[in-house]
Amino acid sequence: MRGHGLSFGDLSAFVNGQVEGASLSAIDLEAHWDGGPIEFKLSAQGSLPVFADRTFSAHIKLAGDANGCTADPFIISAEGADIARAQGRIPLILTAEPGNVRVRLVKAKPFDFQAVTEPNQGFWDFASQHLGVRIGDPKVEARLHGTLDEVQGTLRAQASRIGRSASTNAFKAPPLEKLRIEARFEPDRVVLREFAFEVESQPVRITGELPMRGKVLLDLISNGALPDWRQARVRLEIADARVEPFARYLPGVLNPQGRLSVSLGIVPGGEVEGEVRIAGAVTRPISPLTAIRDIDATVRFSGRGATITRFTGRMGGREVSVSGRFGVAESGEPQFDLRLRGDNVPLVYRPGLLLRSDFDIRFAQAGSQPATISGDVNLRDGLYLQDLRALVPAGRAEPLGRPPYFSVTENPFADWKLDLNVHGERFLRVRTPFFRGEITAAFQLKGNLQEPQALGEARIHSGLIKFPFGTLAVDQGQASLTSDHPYEPELFVTASSRLYGYHIKMEIGGTASAPSIAFSSTPPLTSEQVLLMLAAGELPRDELSTSRESKAGRFALYLGKDMIARLVGSEDSADRLTVRSGEDVSQEGKSTYYIEYKLSDDLSVVGEYDRFNALNAGLKLRIFSR
């Protein structure tokens, strides 16, 4: 039988079904049979439009008899250029039956089959556009021989680059460069001798083997059954590579710094054995915490889990450590139990705010529930220099603008639950133009990282509220966050002082965003009169009136106290100096002054101009304190 210029519709008597656009440009078939296998010779050329702008062609020469079929050659091409070529013998026998042709694979007969791809960059560019995978300079060579029960052979493949043409999701898989694959087929297994590639010039090597029991190839051809991949053994090796190429594909975890070594094996059953080492790595900061730097870690994998045998790093120059285990449950859910420890670590370190802490924090997850962060955080040696108005809640709809002034929105951390005990005795020194003092706090962090809640209170252990013409000592002060009002601090502050012969008292109540402030005095003055005295130096009409020069001097003292730290280069030196003026009025109608400089916690140098117009100086020694 011979023909040319045919469509598949012309062969309806021989071919079931229709393929739109498919054609046979030439066919030459000779066949005969006599009650046994068909002996035939077939030469054919055809084409098939796969896309609107691309047509694939095939050229095949087949010969068959009782020993099987021989292809010499079988060529696939596109636009006149070859893509792949195959040749060889397969144990495929055709037998004529009434009204049908029976196709039979004979497992006992030997076969020998070879296939190879041809250079065709135009086709691979076309494939990249339509398949979303860019393949550069691919080459594949395969040879299989033996019988269907005992397959032997080799597979070699290489490509200069394989990667996604464009990423449509948040995860970007890294492109593989200088790809090389070499596999050997043996009667009882497939050995992956080498699967090597580079990720941005960092070499990765994978080896392994897969047991091949029974009629694996025959089952694959007959019904598409794949081998049991759970019985595979795989080895992954990355030797002293830069973290940077891998970190950019995990942008929420690591900064592109450090070195990485991986030696992992997957054993039958899907369990992992081996070790991962990281040196000099840096985590990305999770607001408001500082990043962990100089990470030196070793993780040992065994079975379905892993143990952190060593993990040290530095936060703000202080060492921290991590210990614990993590893994994957049989259900596929991640599970872990990790401990993070550190002493005197700067948790938050940014302009105007320093928070140090001793901490012992546990990160745990089991089953499908969100992870939980629990433990103890002991705050210490902190410093606050910002405007106090930054602590006033900016609105409940914005977590960053309300207590506890942080929020983590990155997944999967956002849903992690909080159960942290946060406390500190005199942990925070506040140094602002209007307030200086020490704060003690005790809070319980609840909620989750995206919507955290801090329930408890902060107390002023000691403090001074400063006005241009007077300073009030805090007698009692606290800000409370309750379950009824978790985002609005409730205030209660009392402060007092003696000024120009008056005992002044200030009371602050209400909330941080809507405080109520009241002044009182003995002898009695109105709240407005007390405020004028403190803020502008204005005394009651029947009392002493201060001159402009006196007011200027008092205001200079108000400003100068805060400049001492800059001049001497030490905040501690400024804290040792105490200047009080205007507590009384002298017999000559002048303001009194008192100056004290602490040489130590128990010894001070003092000087004063008192209400009797006398200048005094001396030493003050503390013998006993409560």
In a domain, 378, yes or no: no
Kindly tell me the burial class for residue 472, based on how many C-beta atoms sit within 10 Å of its own C-beta (0-12, 13-18, 19 or more): buried
The per-residue pLDDT for range 288-336, each reduced to its tens digit, is 677 889 999 999 999 889 999 999 999 888 999 999 999 887 777 889 9
Q: For position 553, what pLDDT does the model report?
A: 55
**Alpha carbon of 508 to those of 257, 289, 515, 517: distances in Å?**
50, 32, 7, 5
Domain limits for position 76? 1-108
More confident of the two residues 90 and 564: 90
Cross-strand partners of 516: 509
The per-residue pLDDT for range 468-504, each reduced to its tens digit, is 888 899 999 999 999 888 888 999 999 999 887 889 9
- DSSP character for 413? G
Q: Which of 108, 137, 159 is the last residue of a domain?
A: 108
**Alpha carbon of 134 to those of 9, 124, 141, 165, 327: distances in Å?**
36, 8, 20, 5, 34
Check pLDDT > 60 for residue 197.
yes
Predicted TM-score (pTM) of the model is 0.69
CA 282 to CA 295: how far, in whole Å?
A: 6
Q: For position 459, what pLDDT does the model report?
A: 96
CA 399 to CA 383: how far, in whole Å?
A: 23
Q: pLDDT band at 552, cuts 50/70/90?
A: low
In a domain, 626, yes or no: yes
The per-residue pLDDT for range 518-544, each reduced to its tens digit, is 999 998 999 888 988 888 777 775 555
More confident of the two residues 278 and 105: 278
How many Cα neighbours within 13 Å face the side chain of 596?
15
CA 272 to CA 301: how far, in whole Å?
A: 6
Query: Please, which residues have CB within 8 angstroms of residue 621's CB and are 6 or more apart in sequence?
Result: 602, 603
- DSSP character for 351? T
Q: For position 568, what pLDDT does the model report?
A: 47
Q: For the chain, how many structural domains are there in total?
A: 2
Give the residue from 274, 287, 341 showing the smallest Cα distance to 311.
Answer: 341
Mean of all residue pLDDT scores within the chain = 83
Q: pLDDT band at 557, cuts 50/70/90?
A: low
In a domain, 101, yes or no: yes
In a domain, 117, yes or no: no
Question: Which residue in the block uniquely carries the two structure tokens 């006992």?
Answer: 108
Give the residue from 171, 219, 177, 168 showing the smallest Cα distance to 196.
Answer: 177
In a domain, 87, yes or no: yes
Q: pLDDT band at 155, cuts 50/70/90?
A: very high
pLDDT above 90: percentage of residues in the chain: 33
Return the H-helix or E-strand segment holding 45. strand 39-51
More confident of the two residues 75 and 20: 75
In a domain, 299, yes or no: no
Go through the chain and tell me how many residues it has. Answer: 626
Q: pLDDT band at 569, cuts 50/70/90?
A: very low
pLDDT above 70: percentage of residues in the chain: 84
CA 538 to CA 517: how far, in whole Å?
A: 19
CA 426 to CA 441: how far, in whole Å?
A: 8
Check pLDDT > 60 for residue 88.
yes
Give the residue from 326, 328, 333 showing the smallest Cα distance to 300.
Answer: 326
First to last CA, the chain: 117
E strand residue ranges, 201-292 = 202-211, 233-242, 259-267, 271-281
In a domain, 530, yes or no: no
Q: For position 73, what pLDDT does the model report?
A: 83
Check pLDDT > 80 for residue 563.
no
In a domain, 453, yes or no: no
Q: Which of 108, 126, 161 is the last residue of a domain?
A: 108
More confident of the two residues 31 and 390: 31
Q: Which of 108, 128, 150 is the last residue of a domain?
A: 108
CA 325 to CA 375: how far, in whole Å?
A: 17
The per-residue pLDDT for range 360-387, each reduced to its tens digit, is 999 999 877 889 999 999 999 999 988 8
**Alpha carbon of 236 to those of 202, 207, 243, 405: distances in Å?**
14, 7, 16, 44
